[in-house]
Each structure stands twice: as C-alpha cells, then as structure tokens.
Amino acid sequence: NRYGVDTISTGSAIAFAMECYQRGIITREEAGCDLTWGNVDAIIEMVEQIGTARGLGALLGQGVKRAAAAIGRGTEEFAVHVKGMEVPYHDPRAYTSMYPAYATGTRGACHMHGAAFIMEQGAPRPDTGRPVGEVDRFSSEGKAILAILAQDKASVVDSLTLCMICSDGMIYADIADALQAVTGEPWDAERVGKTGERITTLQRLYDLKCGITGADDRFPRRLLEPVPDGSHAGRIPDVEYMIQDYYRERGWDTNGVPKPEKLRELGLD
C-alpha cells in the first residue's frame, strides 16, 4: 500500500519473473536475489524493487506485457495478461463466464468490472433478481450474457461510486429505488440496465478510437492450457465461440464493433 502498487499485478509480475528464473532466462545476478519459486524473502525483495523502480523491479513495474516484450526468448507465452492488464486469480478455467468477461474487458482482464462468476455461484441476475439456476460452470453456453450483465452492472456501480463488494447483492431494482429517492426522477430496473449498457458500449467506442480492437480480445496461452488435476482437469471451453456469442448478445459485429443500429438504440450515434 505504501508503494502504491496493485497486489494482483505485482504478484503476477513476480510469478512471471520466477518462471523466467526457473527456465534459466533470468540469472540470479540479473534478479538481485534467488527467485526460486515460492521463496518468500525473494518475493518481498522483488516487491521492494518494483516499489522503488530499481533493478529488475524497474522493468517488472511496467507490467508483464512490457517485461516480456523486453526480455523476449519466448516469455510472451507465459506473460499472463489481457490488453496489458495482468489476469486476476479468479481462474476462468474454473468458472468459464470469466473468459468472455476478461477477454472483452475495456481495460483488460479485470474481475472488478465483470465478476460474472458470482452468478455461477448463485448470486442473482441484476436485471431479474433471480438466480440463473443450475449452471454447468465448464460449459461455453450461456456464459456471454453473464459477462454482459456483470460488466453493465459494474458500469453503473462504478458511476455511482458505490462499493463493488457491498453491492454484490444489489439488483437493478434496488439501484433504481435509490436513484429515484435521491434524484426525484423516475427510475426503474430497465433504465438502470440500459444505462449500464450505454456506459460499457461508450467505453468500447473509446477503446476502438485508441486502436484497441477485437483482435485484442484474446487470452494468453497459459489460460488456454488445461490444468492437470482437480474438478476441471483437462477442460478448456470454446473461448472463440463465447467471444463471438458475446458480440452477438451485445449487438456488435464479428470484429467487436458496435453496430450502427445498436448505437442509435443507446443514443450514441
């Protein structure tokens, strides 16, 4: 906290460095410490290097995307990020709705702007207030809409500066009641949901203007590799199908660009 660095990105950057060390790509001299996997003292040392921008930490502090580009030697294969943002530890191989949520995230793989997995765990849909029912968490079907609902709700919650965690149990009807009480304007669940969709779509348009396109809605190879054991051993869903399904549900074209009729519907034309 004192260094002002993110725990997820910092942890991912150090894990990346440890794998580089394990593969013989980074030496002990270059690292300034023994980066053997799980070495707690080395982890603390790397946090300090990153926080003070010295040694290897000066490079890792720029994120794994830039670090891998600078180091090369195949390290891009295990630089775990989407659009330059390190992937959180809510593994999409366990809850597959996180594949479209992470891939299409306007700022990259962010669980705070697309926590679709909570609906797979039983949280209510924000639009209906009802649970989605029994969900096959390994399936590719029906996951795009969960990602969309999670992203649009996050857009509303962020805009209202509400706590994302405390609002987990809130549905659009709750937010509408609060907005109507505060503003005196007529709000209902449908208007709240449409507002969230408008915000998320506007963010997408901004990304496109910055040159971030559907080609960037992609996953690092590491998260497309099945894990060897556990309940989801050997399972990888059809990620490309889920991304295209997401585009269809959004009213975007196959390249991830919002269609003109969708922009007119949202008043963004």
**Domain of residue 55, CATH code:** 1.10.569.10
Q: CATH number for the domain including 171?
A: 1.10.599.10
Q: What is the pLDDT along the chain (269 residues), one digit of tens a residue?
A: 899 999 999 999 999 999 999 999 999 999 999 999 999 999 999 999 999 999 999 999 999 999 999 999 999 999 999 999 999 989 999 999 999 999 999 999 999 999 999 999 999 999 999 999 888 989 999 999 999 999 999 999 999 999 998 898 899 999 999 999 999 999 999 999 999 999 999 999 999 999 999 999 999 999 999 999 998 899 999 999 999 999 999 999 999 999 999 999 999 99
Closest CA to 102 of 65, 141, 150: 150
**pLDDT single digits (tens) 27-48:** 999 999 999 999 999 999 999 9
pLDDT at 169: 85
Boundary (domain end) residue, out of 15, 49, 79: 79
Q: Say whether both 66 and 144 belong to one domain.
A: no
Type and span of the H or E element at 83? none
When divided into structural domains, the chain yields a total of 2
CA–CA dist 133, 121 (Å, integer): 10
**Do 112 and 164 contact (CB within 8 A), yes or no?**
yes
Q: What is the pTM of this model?
A: 0.94
**Do 86 and 13 contact (CB within 8 A), yes or no?**
yes
Q: Say whether both 149 and 261 belong to one domain.
A: yes
86 in any annotated domain: no
Q: Say whether both 33 and 123 belong to one domain.
A: no
Q: Say whether both 202 and 103 belong to one domain.
A: yes
CA–CA dist 146, 151 (Å, integer): 9
pLDDT at 134: 83
pLDDT at 186: 97
**pLDDT single digits (tens) 198-231:** 999 999 999 999 999 999 999 999 999 999 999 8
Enclosing domain of residue 226: 98-266
Q: Say whether both 251 and 145 belong to one domain.
A: yes
pLDDT at 168: 86
